[in-house]
Structure 1
Amino acid sequence: MSSAIDPTCWICGEPATTGEHFFKHSDLKQIFGQPSQAAPLFHHSTKRVNRPIGSLKANVLKMPRILCAPCNNERSQPYDRAWESLSDWLRAKVNLRPGDQVRGDRVWPDGHCSRRLRNVQLYFTKLTGCYLTYMGVPFDQRGMATSLLHGTIYPHIHIRLRANNPGDFGLSDVVVDDSRRGRCTIAAWLYLLGRLAVEVQYVDVGPAEARLPGAWHPRAGSNRLQIMPSIDEQFLG
């Protein structure tokens, strides 16, 4: 599907002046370090394989002009930082296996784990909205934007942690169903962190909990996320 970039910020409607990384800059830096022209990373996509990347600020790593600076910085900073801390914690726990549980109070022992997990959900809400906007797919833009602007739980984003191929990093393609209501009502994609992946499910139709066994949502009342088998293990055997 071709890109269709709205020149206004999809969250607040102000002029869109900044891009959003497909894969968070801090994750790229922690995993790969700082590339250079002499020692580049190699970027793979469906359009091109082995494209050399000499900087983590390279345009190919970003969705261009998708947000205004305030929405991409101070407004969403709590969401970004919550994911950064969870990502760092997950990366340090090399023995996590399917069936294990990630307890929010172990990641954030300061008594604010519920708020931080809500902010993790809002980080993936923001990234899902950016991804769908970049793809030109209609979705619940107003609902997502309201949650992000006010820091409130977004009802339609659910998260699973999955085991994953240790050599896979980046974002998967987004699978969408936009056959109802003239907009996307279901979308799914993976944020690949090597040994672990975050499966993000956007479900804006019917009772999502019945469709998503093992998924986590802030309204479930639990601060524990279970690690599920990899998609290959779950569906292929």
Structure 2
Amino acid sequence: MKCWICGEEATTGEHLLKAASLRALFTTVSQTRPIFYNSERKRNKRLQSIDSKYLKSKSLCARCNSSRTQAADRAFDILMSYLEGLPSKVLAQSSVRMNRLFPYCTRAQSVQLHLYFVKLFGCLVREGEVPIDLGDFSAAICSGKPHPDIYVAIGAMDRAIAGGSGTAGLSDMHCDFYKDGKPAFVAWFMHMGDVCIQVMLAAAGEHRDGLINSWHPSRNKRLLLREFPKE
């Protein structure tokens, strides 16, 4: 398999759920303290390490998975460290200015945070063999500029839907395509404990409910935290 960012051989596994966030949530994962993985193909798969292959997508080369996207990974870790310290009520109805989250180089750090979601989006597209051209995703990461059509919404999700505060996961990717095969709107969720994140691709001119109060680094200097629907 080729790295979808640069075209070199894909030799490394990218965590689909960030390793640092998994460690913060589960503390220790071992033979005596396993976690359980569920998907359409696997039910209650016992995992004894956060480095399990079931938690990774092998779709990037070593450079793209390290030096090229390291700043994006760090920006996401900063975001999660902040969100994990918030009570669920605050997650549901609050906001945070980007210059509070990133006191130094706010604009550059905000773009890197955005590019983390671009990277994860691309890995999920490749992993799921979703018919979406990743050229614009690759161009955004290689240029260090935001993808114009990727938006993010962050907040709290009903625990009954998410599976409880001691769980983490990714949803399926829900896609609407135009007749020519190009994506009109694509959305998926990730949750880590009480934190829920919705990532969306919306073509120009699309107006979807999920985009209301969503964040894009070129349009917003504040993250508006929301409570996601119970259904």
TM-score by length of structure 1 reads 0.87
Structure 1 residue ranges without an equivalent (≥5): 1-6
The partner residue of 2:25 within 9, 19, 31 is: 31
2:114 maps to 121
- Contact 1:186–1:205, Cα closer than 8 Å, also in 2: no
Residues 40-189 of structure 1 mapped to structure 2, 5 A cutoff = 40-63=34-57, 65-94=58-87, 96-110=90-104, 112-164=105-157, 165=159, 166-189=165-188
Corresponding position of 1:3: none
Q: 1:209 to 1:218 in 2, by over 3 A?
A: farther
- State the shift of 1:106 in Å: 1.8
Q: Give the number of equivalent residue pairs.
A: 224
Query: Is 1:199 the equivalent of 2:193?
Result: no
Deviations 1:77-129 (A, max 9, x none): 0111000011111101225242310221222223x222212111110011001
> Take 1:62 and 1:185, find their aligned partners in 2: how far apart are those partners?
27
Is there any run of 5+ residues in structure 2 with no aligned partner, and where? 160-164
8 Å CA contact 1:139–1:184 kept in 2: the answer is: yes
- Matched with 1:213 is 212
Q: 1:47 to 1:210 in 2, by over 3 A?
A: closer
Aligned to 1:4: none
Name the amino acid aligned to 1:228.
R
Partner residue, 1:229: 227
Q: Aligned in 2, Cα 1:151/1:19: closer, same or farther, shift over 3 Å?
A: same
Secondary structure of 1:218's counterpart equals: coil
SS of 2:183's partner is coil
Deviations 1:161-189 (A, max 9, x none): 12112344121111112343324332101
Contact kept? 2:92, 2:226, Cα under 8 Å = yes
What is the alpha-carbon root mean square deviation over aligned residues? 1.9
Residue identity (%): 32
Give the Å deviation of 1:160: 0.6
Distance 1:162 1:180 in 2: 33
Whichever residue aligns with residue 86 of structure 1, its letter is L
What's the CA shift for 1:142?
Answer: 1.1
